[in-house]
Structure 1
Amino acid sequence: MSEREPLQGIPSMAEYYIQIIQAVQPEGPYDLGGYSLGGDIAYEVTRQLQEMGHKVNTIVMLDTLDSNALNALKNSDKDLILQTINVALISAMKQKSDEPPMLIHRDETNLELSDEVYLDELIELARSRGLTKTTAQIHKMIQKHLDIQKSYKLDEISISPLLYPEEVTCYYFRNQGGKVYGDLEPYASTVPNFSQAVDGSKYWGDWEREIPKLYMIDVDPSCHMTIFDEPNVYEKILKLCEKLYSKKAVSDRYLQNLIENLQLSGTGSKAPV
Structure 2
Amino acid sequence: MDAYLAAIAIIALIYMLLSLGLTLQYGLTGLINFGHVGFFAIGAYTSALLSLQGLPLALTIPAAAVTAGLAAWPIGLISLRLRDDYFAIVTLGFSETVRLVITSEKWLTNGVQGIPGIPRLFETISVGIGAQLAVMGLILAVTLAAIYAMRRIVASPFGRVIEAIRDNEEALQALGKDPAGFKIQVLILGSALAGIAGAFYAHYITYIVPDQFIPLVTFYVWMAIIIGGVGRVSGAIVGTGLLMLFLEGSRFLRDIVPGVSEVEMASLRIGVVGLLLVLFTIYRPQGLMGDFTKR
TM-score tier (shorter): under 0.3
Q: TM-score with structure 2 length normalisation?
A: 0.26
The higher relative CO (CA closer than 8 Å, separation ≥ 6) is in: 2
Q: TM-score with structure 1 length normalisation?
A: 0.28
Judging by fraction of residues, say which structure has more strand: 1
Q: Which has the larger radius of gyration?
A: 1
